[in-house]
Structure 1
Amino acid sequence: MPTTLRPFEPHSAWHAVPPALVRHFAATALAEVPDLAEEILREIRNGYPHLRFSLDESGEPMALVGIRHALEGFVRHLLAEEGSPAREHHEVFQKFGRAEVRDGRSLDSLQAVYRLGVRLSWRRLAEIGQRVRIPPPAMYELADAGYEYLDGLVEESVRGYAEAAARRAGERLRLQQRLMDLVLSDHRDAPATDLAERASQVAWTLPKTVSVGLLLRPARESVAPAVGTEILLDMESERPRIVIPDPETGGRTEQLRSTLVGWAGAIGPPVPLASAAKSLRWAEAALGLMERGLLPRDQVLHCSEHIESLVLLQSEELIDDLARRCLAPLEHCAPTHGKRLAETLLAWLETRGGAPEIATRLGVHPQTVRYRLRQIRDLWGEEIDDPDGRFAIELVLRAQRLRERTEAPVSKSR
């Protein structure tokens, strides 16, 4: 995009300079542009030795070309007829901005270089102005115009910088998505070099273990959480995917919790890198329970902290079928009485303690517990002494208790 300068005001001091004197000043300045450009480049090299200078097709430094174009464009602005601003394309200055992205730097040093160039240019133009007798007020206005011109060059570099940064970010996201796809696939038969190569493209160190999660966006336009470059995040998916390397590293879980405040989702258990897909499947299972209201829905939960719920609540149909067979003896009991017997039976199965211990746990009298236990033995008979039978009953009763605990808040909220 071309950089332009506003014309001088009709009643300005520069506008009052005789045209012949302006032409003389401009011709003198243009004649000195090559030498001035060389001087500016030398000073830049001395002051900023870390900067690299690309060459154009003729082998000339692009920086020197850009400096000459900038100086010539500014001087020719002074010769524009009827005060209309001269137009000069400054693609080279956009390239400077893109180079800063390529070299991993901010625009600070580049802007400092521009300020150095303007300072040296103004010194030379001031000398020329004295030689050809341009009035000082007109030269002051010329200095203001020079800084305005500098702003335009900076804008060009910022534009180039932003375009290059966006392209680099987009490329990294594309490479990161390809890496995540491979990590989450069954890549055990793929050459180890494939994974290592894709990881190197985004400077990701292959970990020994990973946890994989799925996130739920607080809002469709939510900004990606600042998880850091060591954690892979795919915001392009409907439910953003996240891969956490070596999740049991000290402090990583706590750091992730604070980073994901306001988000919801599930993080699968730690698994070897080759089994990352398994961690993802557990996260998907947890998310399914969250959407059904069987797990908390207002946080990012870790599957390792909800193993019982994931095991017992995920296979709902199987648990219900097992419950019909294991709890059949309670069918002929009144609902309230049946529920009390079930609570007592679960307390006995979990503790295998005596009546006093169970009574303390349930908050009832020991004699009440003894009465219920006799009823339980009458209802189940010898089945209650079978280890497999007791395990199945305990499994069902634990699942039912989990459902009651998770469904109660949902029903209250309704």
Structure 2
Amino acid sequence: MGDCSAWEDVPRLQVRQFTDRAMREVPSLAQEILDGICREHPKLPLLVDESGELIALVGIRRALEDFVQHLVLAEGRPHHVHLEVFQEFGRGEGLHGRSLDSLQAMYRLGVRLAWRRLAEIGQQVCIPPPAMYELAESGFAFLDGLVDQTVRGYAEAAARQAGERLRLQRKLTQALIAEHGEPADPVHTRSLAEHAARIGWALPERVAVGVLLRPGRECVAPAVGQGVLLDMENEQPLMIVPDPALAGRPELLRRSMKGWSGAIGPAVALTEAAKSLRWAGAAVRLMERGLLPSGRLLHCTEYTEALVLLPPEELIGDLTRRCLAPLADCGPTQGRRLAETLLAWLETRGGAPEVAARLGVHPQTVRYRMRQIRELWGDEVDDPDRRFELELVLRAQRLRGELSEPIR
């Protein structure tokens, strides 16, 4: 609209006649608009204010009055006055789960009905067409202002809802991983059901708990989907995966965790989630020390050997010193070669050719080393219990990178 308004050419008396008639019809027009909206959106909840009036009806009436009154005050160029009732309407609609599209559809319907009535009044008092066209443009600009107010309220409600859901989700997560008494404790199970019901989470039979390593301070939470619970409040975020063996679940996790790393524990009964968490935590600690691969989400069940042998360092360390005492007088290189040969022999239970193929050396070299091993350990290498202990400590050394990987 330009600086010169078409309404400036309309006699003031005529403008007053138009606005007076429009103001008299505001109550019936507001009711007509609300009735039309209710027909189009029958599930729209109609709340009342403290005086018992319908909040939606009050809002529509105020908007119409504001628009018409400013025809006189602004010489035919209405401007939007902030109406808190529309912000509150947006909050209410957001909390009831309606979309912004449905809200805007209601507003468009209201504008059509209002324009039809104002056009009739314009004809009755002979308002020139250019002024009425300008009024239509002003009406849509006025509508934009109301929509802005509603969207603001809607966004506030959405933010509050999201924050509340995250708070309730964290309470559920903490309840799931909490240590408690008997796995089948009915009190604990009932508590979990209550927490889950607040966020609409269906209790699964089994869960797996993941511990995540943030790729950066400002990283965005992984898009794991609604069924997977995330607790991003910890330094190392937690993830609870329902029914992890469900078809498509592993692939969904793989895609959604791109850029993230961490470990996911074994699947356990719902009330034993703390056990899965312990394994995931142990795996993450090994990842941080470089003893397990990083840069992706590891499944603990694929690294059982490392998780069994590496965390109890004191016990394994003491057993290692006792079992490998015969190597104390050997040099580092010789000791490592003998240890690798002994482990290859224990794993294959084969002769020199099989052990040599595993080590990538000549069979005669293996025979020479095995003679040295028998001289150092004697009959102990034939004792089943001693062989088991030797294989344990040597496998642990290989997992730590102290011995070479065999040739497959």
Q: Same fold (TM over 0.5)?
A: yes
Per the alignment, residue 8 of structure 2 pairs with 15
What are the residue-to-residue correspondences of 1:182-221 with 2, within 5 Å? 182-188=175-181, 190-221=187-218
Counterpart selection for 2:22 from 2, 25, 29: 29
The alpha-carbon deviation at position 381 of structure 1 amounts to 0.8
Counterpart selection for 1:68 from 61, 71, 86: 61
Structure 1 unmatched runs, 5+: 1-7, 409-414
Task: Determine if contact 1:295/1:406 at 8 Å carries over to the other structure.
Answer: no
1:99 matched to 2:92? The reply is yes
CA distance in 1, matches of 2:222, 2:378: 58
The alpha-carbon deviation at position 147 of structure 1 amounts to 0.3
Per the alignment, residue 125 of structure 1 pairs with 118
Task: Determine if contact 1:231/1:243 at 8 Å carries over to the other structure.
Answer: yes
Per the alignment, residue 330 of structure 1 pairs with 327
Task: Determine if contact 1:9/1:15 at 8 Å carries over to the other structure.
Answer: no
Letter in 1 for 2:155: A
Task: Determine if contact 1:211/1:267 at 8 Å carries over to the other structure.
Answer: yes
Task: Determine if contact 2:224/2:256 at 8 Å carries over to the other structure.
Answer: yes
Larger CA deviation: 388-397 vs 318-327:
318-327
Aligned sequence identity (%): 64
Per the alignment, residue 137 of structure 2 pairs with 144
Counterpart selection for 1:362 from 359, 362, 365: 359
Structure 2 unmatched runs, 5+: none
1:253 matched to 2:250? The reply is yes
1:55 matched to 2:48? The reply is yes
CA distance in 1, matches of 2:347, 2:392: 11
SS of residue matched to 1:211: strand
Counterpart selection for 2:368 from 364, 367, 371: 371
1:153 matched to 2:150? The reply is no
CA distance in 2, matches of 1:330, 1:45: 88
Counterpart selection for 1:295 from 292, 295, 299: 292
Q: RMSD in angstroms over aligned alpha carbons?
A: 2.1
The alpha-carbon deviation at position 46 of structure 1 amounts to 2.1
Task: Determine if contact 2:229/2:239 at 8 Å carries over to the other structure.
Answer: yes
Counterpart selection for 1:389 from 374, 386, 389: 386
Per the alignment, residue 40 of structure 1 pairs with 33
What are the residue-to-residue correspondences of 1:81-100 with 2, within 5 Å? 88-100=81-93
CA distance in 2, matches of 1:329, 1:274: 48
Aligned residue-pair number: 401
The alpha-carbon deviation at position 56 of structure 1 amounts to 2.6
SS of residue matched to 1:298: coil
Distance 1:91 1:179, change over 3 A: same
Distance 1:137 1:156, change over 3 A: same
The alpha-carbon deviation at position 81 of structure 1 amounts to 5.7
SS of residue matched to 1:15: helix
Distance 1:406 1:349, change over 3 A: closer
Distance 1:405 1:97, change over 3 A: farther
Question: What is the TM-score with the length of structure 2 in the denominator?
Answer: 0.92
SS of residue matched to 2:7: coil
The alpha-carbon deviation at position 168 of structure 1 amounts to 1.0
SS of residue matched to 2:16: helix
Per the alignment, residue 263 of structure 2 pairs with 266
Per the alignment, residue 176 of structure 1 pairs with 169
The alpha-carbon deviation at position 9 of structure 1 amounts to 5.4
SS of residue matched to 1:43: helix
Question: What is the TM-score with the length of structure 1 in the denominator?
Answer: 0.91
SS of residue matched to 1:14: helix
The alpha-carbon deviation at position 191 of structure 1 amounts to 4.1
Task: Determine if contact 1:356/1:366 at 8 Å carries over to the other structure.
Answer: yes
